[in-house]
Amino acid sequence: MSMYFGDVSLCYTNSLAMALDSFGFDVRPEYLEALMVMGDGASIMKDDPRHPLVFFDNGEPDVSISNCLGILGFAWEEFFVEEPVADLAEVRDRLTCMLEKGPVVAGPLDMGLLTYNPNYQGLGGVDHFVCVLGLDGGRVHLHDPAGFPYMSIDFDDFAKAWQAQAISYRRGSFSMWGGFTRVREPEGEEVYREVSSIMRKRYEAGEAGVIRSYAEAIRHNGMSPQQKGIHQYFSFRLAAARSLYAARFLADHDPERAQIKERIASLFGQAHLDNLAEDNEALALTLEGIAELDDHFRELCVLSGGDRGKPRGAAPPRKASNPIRKGS
């Protein structure tokens, strides 16, 4: 299995990795991403009869951050506001208190309101996560995993983005995670079973047949400019990386599911090329191949109750190194 490391939009994962590193926990982002369980199935984001908008995931980043921390044995502080907030004093006070312990993960944010990004005007409604480093003099200091380390922005402007009013999946505004301490060190098999359980639950709660229906819509109606743009710059390459990281994680526990995920990753790479070539028939065929593999993966996740491993008599899995290294 050939791993990929590079430019891919995993802002929530990279923000968490940066924050944990500041607390002395060195965790590889691709391992965290696998534990987020964000790369299975698909969801309809815009239900247009001719040109629907589909994302290739069945989870939500904010919930996945909390799940990931729990799986790895961390205790942490978490905050978000469900109702609109007129007075930002409480939000600012909570952020200040969390920052006393170390960096804080914040998001989702609306990228269209993060004015230090030179492309912000074209990013309205795009969700994002950052690692907040400090707050002083009315300015928020942060690392933005979109390629902007050591940024600063006025707190009131940051709060407008942090309200995330245009982000449909948000559970509330001003979500943040901090104060990370590791209270237990689960074995690899326990981590695997927790991840498998989340896979099963998300497939059971999610929509079935989305990818196959999407392929049919593309075959009959072609692609809108919005579809082409999102797939060209975002969704196909993200789906490929997520599938590859899931494959790498599963390889130590369930080779069958790992092989399926690796094949899905390869096909998402082909989907990107089909989209660039504007070959809608080829893209529809590629997506149908992905749908067939994802259906098989779903069946293995759901019918097995999420509790799968090597069959009896098989060779023991390769012993993986400790995925979390504690710094001095």
Residues 104 and 139 in one domain: yes
In a domain, 327, yes or no: no
pLDDT of residue 145: 97
For residue 326, what pLDDT is reported? Answer: 64
Same domain, 196 and 228: yes
145 with 254, same domain: the answer is no
Residues in the chain: 328
Residues 176 and 27 in one domain: yes
Beta partners for residue 91, in sequence order: none
Same domain, 145 and 206: no
Both 23 and 111 in one domain: the answer is: yes
**Co-location of 85 and 148 in the same domain:** yes
Asked if 16 and 164 sit in the same domain, the reply is yes
Asked whether residue 317 is assigned to any structural domain, the reply reads no
Q: Which of 167, 182, 197 is the last residue of a domain?
A: 182
Look at residues 280, 269, 268, 277 and name the one whose alpha carbon lies nearest to residue 223: 280
Give the end of a domain, one of 150, 182, 214. 182
Query: Is residue 312 included in any domain, yes or no?
Result: no
Query: Residue 44 pairs with which residues in a beta bridge?
Result: 54
Sequence-ordered list of residues with C-beta below 8 angstroms from that of 31, at least 6 positions apart, any chain:
245, 249, 323
- In this prediction, residue 214 carries a pLDDT of 96
User: Could you tell me the strand order of the sheet in which 173-182 lies?
Assistant: 74-81, 173-182, 104-110, 127-136, 139-144, 148-154
Q: Divide the 328 residues of the chain into consecutive groups of 10 and give the mean pLDDT of each group.
A: 88 97 96 96 90 91 96 96 82 96 97 94 92 96 97 97 90 95 95 96 93 96 93 94 97 96 98 96 98 97 66 38 58
Pairing status of strand 127-136 against strand 104-110: antiparallel
Enclosing domain of residue 121:
11-182
pLDDT for residue 45 = 86
Shared domain check, 152 and 46: yes
Looking at residue 320, its pLDDT comes to: 42
Helices 11-22, 29-36: inter-axial angle, 10-degree rounding: 120
> How far does the chain reach from its first CA to its final CA, in angstroms?
32
Question: Residue 1 domain-assigned?
Answer: no
Supply 63's token pair: 């919930």
161, 200: one domain = no
Specify whether 287 is located in the same domain as 195. yes
Q: Radius of gyration over alpha carbons of the chain, in Å? A: 20
**CA–CA distance, 109 with 111 (Å, rounded to integer):** 6
Q: What is the C-alpha separation between 241 and 276, in angstroms, rounded?
A: 18
238 and 164 share a domain? no
Q: Among 58, 98, 100, which residue's Cα sits nearest to residue 80?
A: 98
CA distance 304 to 299: 8
Please tell me the total count of domains within the chain.
Answer: 2
Please report the pLDDT score of residue 316 as a whole number: 38
Looking at 147, 182, 217, the residue that finishes a domain is: 182
